[in-house]
Amino acid sequence: MSIITGFIEPTQGKVEINGYDVSKKARKAKREIGYMPETTPLYSELTPKEFIKYMAELKGVPRKERKQEVERVMKAVNIEDVKGRIIRNLSRGYKQRVSLAGALVGNPKVLILDEPTVGLDPKQVTQIRDLIKSLGKNHTVLLSSHILSEVSQICKKVIIINKGKLVAIDSPKNLEEKTEKENKLLVTVEDPEDKIENVVKGISNIDKIKLVKELSDGTKQYSISSKDNTDMRKEIFASFAKNDITIFELKKAEISLEDAFLDLINNQQSEPEKTKEEIKKEKKEMKAKQKQEKQNKKLEKNKQKEEQKNKKAKKTEKNKKKGGDK
């Protein structure tokens, strides 16, 4: 994220934002971005209003629109009631929102938010999430988060990166479906005679049954998986009823993005990390290559020069000859 926002220069590759290369056309690229860092750095001696105004000035919001823009942003993140207090004395939630306001000011097309809801209370979390969702309608929002339930709620597309390598890009729904390999049901029953295993054996299609936990009210929760993708709920309900097993709850076990994430990370063969020597070797090879290229270029240049010289020499000879003829 630091590279995308132009805080650090990339060592390899390049980042383009709306067509502007971050390292070559830094100014134009940075204008397109609103960045909210994870640590929410703020000038603690200023008030939120002063801070947002300063950010607006830094981002080059024209003087005429500045006041309006500051008001608009303060309204959007709902910090109008503390706009005159010194940031140092604000609560974590307010600070977070002031930081978000700093990113929003100037209406940038791309918003980059690094863990925007960390350290907030549940009410503030839902507020910020709703805000981000509404921002998503008019802006591109790039959000990094470790809270995956948040990601599946807010985001349309997920990128999972593990140890600097891209693992997956997809919508959260697709990712969840991909990992959903088997059809699983969770069923909570009252079954004093422990008939359930025998009953289940009588139902075709069922692969395994496993006790998940015994609940305090005497009921037990089982997980049942089927061999294929058919819905077994009807059959289970019918046969359980016949055998006097009371069903308290019957539901499909949903696979969350978290499961998908773990699955993807674990599946990815963990590559052995390069040792220092290997890295050194690679660097050496690179340098050698570059040197050779340079030398080749030099040789070519020299050749061209020589050719030109030869041509000149020939010309002068010709001229001389001509002169002689005359």
Partner 1 sequence: MWAIIKKEVKTYFLSPIGYVFIGSFLLMSSLFFYLYIFNYGSLEYSYLFYYTAELLTFTIALLTMGMFSSERKNGTETLLLTSSRSITSIVLGKFLAALVVILITEVFSLMYYAIVCIFAGGITELTIVLSTLVGFILLSMAYIAFGMFISSLTENQIIAGVATIILLIVSWFLPNLSSSFNVISPLYQFQDYPQGIFPINETITLLTQIGLFILLTIVVMQRRKNLK
How many positions of this chain bind partner 1 (CB under 8 A)? 29
CB of 36 to partner 1, least distance (A): 10
CB of 93 to partner 1, least distance (A): 18
Binding partner 1 by CB under 8 A: which of 15, 43, 129, 253?
43
CA 134/CA 151 separation, integer angstroms: 15
Candidate ranges 57-65, 164-172, 180-188, 267-275; the one touching partner 1 (CB under 8 A): 57-65
Binding partner 1 by CB under 8 A: which of 17, 30, 49, 158?
30
CA 48/CA 101 separation, integer angstroms: 9
CA 103/CA 4 separation, integer angstroms: 14
| CA 18 to the chain's CA centroid | 18
Does 119 help bind partner 1 (rule: CB under 8 A)?
no
Exposure of 129 in the CB half-sphere (CA atoms within 13 A): 19
Q: Using DSSP bridges, classify how beta strands 33-36 and 110-114 pair: parallel, antiparallel or unpaired.
A: parallel
CB of 124 to partner 1, least distance (A): 21
Looking only at residues 66 through 105 of this chain, which bind partner 1 when binding is defined by CB under 8 A? Answer: 102
Residue reference for tokens 């105004």: 53
CB of 63 to partner 1, least distance (A): 10
H-only helix segments in 202-275: 233-242, 257-267
Binding partner 1 by CB under 8 A: which of 15, 54, 195, 235?
54
CB of 21 to partner 1, least distance (A): 14
Query: In this structure, are residues 264 and 168 in contact, taking their beta carbons and an 8 Å threshold?
Result: yes
219 secondary structure, DSSP code: -
CB-wise, 31 or 233, nearer to partner 1?
A: 31
Does 202 help bind partner 1 (rule: CB under 8 A)?
no
Binding partner 1 by CB under 8 A: which of 12, 27, 194, 270?
27
Does 58 help bind partner 1 (rule: CB under 8 A)?
yes
Q: Provide CB contacts within 8 A for 232, sequence distance 6+.
A: 183, 185, 203, 205, 206, 224, 226
Name which of 209, 206, 284, 200 is nearest 245 in CA terms. 200
CB of 37 to partner 1, least distance (A): 5
CA 220/CA 215 separation, integer angstroms: 6
Exposure of 72 in the CB half-sphere (CA atoms within 13 A): 11
Q: Using DSSP bridges, classify how beta strands 140-144 and 110-114 pair: parallel, antiparallel or unpaired.
A: parallel
Does 16 help bind partner 1 (rule: CB under 8 A)?
no
Query: In this structure, are residues 109 and 117 in contact, taking their beta carbons and an 8 Å threshold?
Result: no
CB of 180 to partner 1, least distance (A): 40
CA 180/CA 183 separation, integer angstroms: 7
Does 9 help bind partner 1 (rule: CB under 8 A)?
yes
Binding partner 1 by CB under 8 A: which of 16, 21, 45, 307?
45
CB of 114 to partner 1, least distance (A): 10
Does 116 help bind partner 1 (rule: CB under 8 A)?
no
Candidate ranges 31-39, 75-83, 245-253, 257-265; the one touching partner 1 (CB under 8 A): 31-39
Q: Which residues bind partner 1 (CB under 8 A)?
A: 2, 5-9, 26-28, 30-31, 33, 35, 37, 39, 41-46, 50, 54-55, 57-60, 102
